[in-house]
Copies of this chain bind each other. A is one copy, B any other.
């Protein structure tokens, strides 16, 4: 086994020649690495064109301009929330798909903001200058917040562009990002969900794959299609096996700078616990679904969410359980700490690792109680969540704003009330199932003889106690909630609702556990700042920072992998047909009637999906994949399971980014959807009907 299969994250520059690792800043691109490894020169013009062709989707997600008139390509699943909002009871656009045959038919999204990055400015000096070195941590944080707000306001006033100061390298650098905003965005085309998400959860995070996970939107300005001189030209033939390709998108969050002690805690405690809970919940929800068709309808969304979480965590855990990955992590950490110890003024950064390890160890002592009582895992129902929110809102609103628990500040009031008074249906039978299940989990984890558990069960078995609580509560009624909320502390204190009584019963211990955990989290955050400061001084920005939902460049090659058998890099329509047939067309392996009627017209050899070694994570969905010429040769939509560990460390043995092939998109637009207007705008041939 290759000892350097996993590039270390800390001294990555030294290792980068071995791997296509990195989510690089557009103002610090991997010029040397790409040149050395792939013989390609990234030029400023090439980079600017790609940057200004790239789009960030509000809720998290990426996209790109593909015409001079604001046409945007992204994933169906990135746009799905919007497509759902644009649907009516009569016309479900998620399942039926959508095509605006005329410009006037494009549907305006109710609340979508797109951002296009126009410039980046390094403001680290100004931020650091404003924060005195003799300040207490609290005062330093306040001074930092103040100067950042000042910079952002100045920039907005001067340019009219959205201006965000982004904290990079855990505080090692501060960059000012300026964005063009688009708030008038319209839906142009979406395939039906059957084609977009063919294979559903079973095929999620898997490869080979056969999904047309794409959609087209359009940016408007002043009621007209936006002029977008920077856009990506399509190359329907895509990229060849082994070809260098880039992605430009907005990876959301990675944790590559966590310490070994933190990784071990995630591997040995955090992930195994979450999986245990997921296995339990998924089993119970499915068994309950099997009992009754209406149950199945009610539990469907919860089951899908649980399954997605299971797959993601299992894959990441398997990565952390790879001794090689941990070894490389340990070696990098040891090197860095040795470097820290070489200078007296850096020694505290070395000690910071031990402070983190110590805090992790202390937190683990009460982690299970914290999860169960404060995390609410022992009472996993929405109705308990409502009861606790009511109880705490009453208690917290009496305090000065700055002393309240997170989520109860005045600034959070709107979203808190939105949640609390949501008229989303509450199914008492499903709530009962969840509460029975989570009370049993509570007993298993804290033990039936635990004094708090004894008080919670109140002399009954979990099933009896759950029934008593769910039957007795009135909190499914929004008016009841509103009355208690408006009545404040007196009304909540007088309430005999059994779920409010339960929340009240455990609140002192839950709050105490939370306070202990927050104190330890603060120790960890400060230690990380300490490490980052020194690390940045040592390494500068020769490497890339953890993901921050800002635009990043990654490079890689189109490449299959070995997973007991050779997995080729590309799938095609013939593969889709075979997979559908092998599964008997049973959902989620089914296609629409329209598709079935026209599938014979498809060229079976046209590529559908492909994999590449690009370093991506959640938030990259919808990112364009481009070649050396800056042409669009793919559309990122997923990571395969072995690649999910990239939250913690990039791996290219089996880990892959999964893209829709532009050839597959064009073929489907021609032969299945006959979307002439879109094809014409892309400069492509129309369908030969």
Contact = CB atoms under 8 A, between A and B. Distances in A.
Contacts of A8: none
Given A268-B447, A307-B287, A463 B318 contact: yes
A201 B290 contact: yes
A467 interface: yes
Interface string A438-450: 0010011001110
Given A323-B457, A564-B471, A584 B440 contact: no
A680 interface: no
Interface string A573-604: 00000000011101000000000000000000
B443 A321 contact: yes
Interface in A143-199: none
A454 interface: yes
Nearest to A445: B272
Interface in A553-573: 564
A529 B459 CA distance: 33
A436 to B, nearest CB: 8
A203 B440 CA distance: 21
A241 interface: no
A343 interface: no
A465 to B, nearest CB: 9
B279 A324 contact: no
A622 to B, nearest CB: 26
Given A283-B282, A440-B314, A454-B323, A293 B461 contact: no
Contacts of A290: 201-202
Given A279-B283, A444-B272, A564-B471, A293 B457 contact: no
Given A280-B279, A287-B307, A564-B471, A459 B318 contact: no
B461 A318 contact: yes
- Size bracket, chain A contacts: 35 or more
Contact of A293 (B314, B460, B584): B584
Interface in A214-236: none
Interface in A452-493: 454, 457, 459-464, 467, 471
A208 to B, nearest CB: 12
A201 B443 CA distance: 26
A177 to B, nearest CB: 37
A322 B1 contact: no
A267 interface: yes
Contacts of A586: 293
Interface in A263-307: 264, 267-268, 272, 275-276, 278-280, 282-283, 286-287, 290-293, 307
A291 B202 contact: yes
A77 interface: no
A1 to B, nearest CB: 6
A462 B645 CA distance: 14
A573 B459 CA distance: 39
A440 B318 contact: yes
Contact of A460 (B323, B443, B454): B323
Q: Which of A1, A293, A310, A464 has the most CB of B within 10 A?
A: A464
A109 to B, nearest CB: 33
A620 to B, nearest CB: 24
A457 B202 contact: no
A317 interface: yes
B324 A444 contact: no
Nearest to A443: B321
A319 interface: yes
Interface string A242-278: 0000000000000000000000100110001001101
Contacts of A314: 440
Contacts of A318: 440, 461-463
A543 to B, nearest CB: 26
Contacts of A463: 318, 642
Contact of A283 (B203, B283, B467): B283
A582 B295 CA distance: 11
A460 B322 contact: yes
Contacts of A447: 268
Contact of A1 (B324, B443, B459): B459
A322 B582 contact: no
Contacts of A471: 564
A296 to B, nearest CB: 10
A202 B582 CA distance: 28
B461 A319 contact: yes
Contact of A464 (B279, B322, B326): B322
Nearest to A206: B291
Contact of A287 (B1, B202, B324, B444): B202
A449 B642 CA distance: 22
Nearest to A267: B448
A1 B465 CA distance: 12
Given A471-B564, A583-B293, A321 B279 contact: no
A117 B323 CA distance: 62
Contacts of A275: 280, 444
27 contacts: A201-B290, A202-B290, A202-B291, A264-B449, A267-B448, A268-B444, A268-B448, A268-B449, A275-B444, A276-B279, A279-B279, A286-B286, A287-B307, A292-B582, A293-B583, A293-B584, A314-B440, A318-B440, A318-B462, A319-B461, A321-B448, A322-B461, A323-B454, A323-B459, A323-B460, A325-B461, A467-B564
Given A203-B291, A272-B444, A293-B584, 14 more contacts: A1-B460, A202-B290, A202-B292, A264-B449, A268-B448, A278-B283, A283-B310, A318-B461, A318-B462, A321-B440, A321-B443, A322-B461, A323-B448, A323-B459
Interface of A: 1, 201-203, 206, 264, 267-268, 272, 275-276, 278-280, 282-283, 286-287, 290-293, 307, 310-311, 314, 317-326, 440, 443-444, 447-449, 454, 457, 459-464, 467, 471, 564, 582-584, 586, 642
